[in-house]
Structure 1
Amino acid sequence: MWHELNGYVTLGMLYFCMALCALMTYVFLRGWYNSLKCARRIEDIPTSRIPSAAQGYVELIGRQYVPPDQTVEAPLTGTPCTWWRYRIQVQKRGLDGKKSLTTLEEGTSSTPILLKNRGGELLVDPDGAEVTPSITHRWRGRLASPPRPMDVRDHVRNGRYLYTEERMRVGEKLYVAGELHTFSGHRQGETFERAVADLLAQWKQDQGRLVERFDTDQDGRIDMAEWEAAREAARTEVAARMRRSEAEPEVDVVRKPENGEPFMLGGGGSQIDMARIYRSKAADALMVSIVFGAMLIYLIHLIP
């Protein structure tokens, strides 16, 4: 077989294709493993009620809303939502005549989501989450930076630019699997003296302001007595801040786990729906890895 292809394919090209197939086999096998792991995690962990949820890794299902002091609108269409992700791509034709998409602009919402269920509520910090949105719109147009808000019905069949917007709706169900923490206004683990030292270090970064505020003898520098006055002012400010923070209510937040556990959000889905989605992803990844693995074996047999 190699002798038949020797006039068209060099040995270097053959090794390159083998390396590429090996890499893609690994990537998709890894995707299969991760998706299967997520599916099993979803099926095994019990769903908690917010009022009784324990600190640590939890699974919650409730209705999602925007926090009272926030406004969330999707960037392309201006549609009110709880979470969004968008991308603007341009279609280009390479020297070989093949078309490819290049991303020009993209973004993801980082505003916390308010989750309510069974008499309780908490915030979900979406940063770092694997999100399965309930709504996905794709349409084409002729502008790299179109005027906004856009109308998805203004679709141009042969437009060079592809717009993608994903959203989750206010009031719909939200599946959450992540790490639950409870925060108070006072930073956890912060001592009074440590807070004073941090505040003084912050003041020292602006020497001009520090001298202007505490240089009582106007000699352009801070002496020991003036530094002690600065320390006393810092103590007073920190004490007042801690009194205010102690009066603030505790806030429950679900965020990305620090130990590498899956952090998943699913718009409109139940536990069964989410597990089915991840098992489908696992099956697709396994199929693709088998194809690349078969190609790798075929190429190995071509080596002279």
Structure 2
Amino acid sequence: MIDAVLTFTISLDPAAFMALLIVSALLCLISLPVGFYFIRHGRIMQDTPTSKIRSASQGFVELEGQARSIDDKPLTAPGTRTDCVWYDFKAEEYQNKGWFDTGNRKDKWTTVSADRSPFSFYIDDGTGVCAIDPDVATVKAKFTKVWTQGNYRYTESRIDEREKIYCLGQFETNQGPSRHKVIKESTRVALNQLKKDRKELLRKFDTNGDGEIDLDEWNIARSAARVQAEKEVDDDYEPTQHHVLVKPFNRKNPYIVSCFGEDELTSRYRLYSVGSFVTFLTTGVYSIIMIIIRWGI
């Protein structure tokens, strides 16, 4: 096989030889950092403990749970018309571009439309829910369907409702308003409503009957509105917490939403890293051989 490769390389014309050398060198340069990329991310997955949403600390976390649509309103995948929480759809057209000089056809598939869902959805681990922003995440869906119809080929990937998912990302909690702020806002709304309904305002708080609301009467109205607001807000009121998973602030940390579990994902990354290093070695050696053949260095 080595002899065949050498014979093929020597037989190339100068232009084809240089093109092949450039491609081989680029693959060599690219495959090494790619290999380390997969090793680093695989180790991050293994070293990051799984957190529970209810007790997760702010920062980079690993979550496992079920995918859920927000407000129980699932999306509809464009191709299969199936309910889901996320989809990635692509339509391609088959185009005949003629023939190469070698006699091979120039046929190819050209993308004519693509639609990837940017909408958030929840991960539910039984202790709470966390909204996921998939727009800039690396999404790995288990379900992928490819089909053709006439001159068109369609590819659809999706995450279904209640499908088990594994996530890595930046965990943030947005705290809802405090009891004091809720009471203050309720008081403000009640007073604005009174201002709009002058007859009701005068009926309740025009104590001297002059048809006007003076400062003392307005203070009474404000106190009454606040007392009513305090009654409507429980003493044990706790602010609502909204958890979100977003792209990590540290660029070295991955942002992954996957239907494959941690073990399967790390195994894949390990294989990808091995493949990258093998590519680095083979293309590196081949590039050196080509240089020796061409320039005798």
In the alignment, structure 1 residue 16 sits paired with structure 2 residue 7:
no
Distance 1:52 1:6 in 2: 64
Q: Which residue of 2 aligns with 1:79?
A: 82
Distance 1:177 1:299 in 2: 43
In the alignment, structure 1 residue 271 sits paired with structure 2 residue 245:
no
Q: Which residue of 1 aligns with 2:48?
A: 45
Contact kept, 8 Å, 1:182 with 1:250, in 2: the verdict is yes
**What letter matches 1:84 in structure 2?**
Y
Distance 1:280 1:92 in 2: 35
Distance 1:32 1:109, change over 3 A: same
Runs of 4+ with >4 A deviation: 1-8
Q: CA RMSD in A?
A: 2.7
Deviation at 1:114, TM superposition (A): 0.8
TM-score (norm: length of structure 1)? 0.66
1:72-221 alignment runs, 5 A limit: 72-94=75-97, 95-96=99-100, 97-142=105-150, 160-184=151-175
**1:131-175 deviation line (CA, Å, top 9, x unaligned):** 110101111121xxxxxxxxxxxxxxxxx4221100111112110
Q: Secondary structure at the match of 1:47?
A: coil
Instruction: Tell me the number of residue pairs that the alignment of Structure 1 and Structure 2 aligns.
Output: 225
Distance 1:293 1:165 in 2: 37
**What letter matches 2:63 in structure 1?**
L
Distance 1:3 1:281 in 2: 31
Contact kept, 8 Å, 2:9 with 2:290, in 1: the verdict is no
Q: Which runs of 5+ in 2 are unaligned?
A: 178-237
Distance 1:36 1:90, change over 3 A: farther
Identity %: 25
Distance 1:273 1:8 in 2: 43
Task: Give the structure with higher Rg (CA).
Answer: 2
Q: Which residue of 1 aligns with 2:213?
A: none
Contact kept, 8 Å, 1:134 with 1:169, in 2: the verdict is no
**What letter matches 1:129 in structure 2?**
A
TM-score (norm: length of structure 2)? 0.68
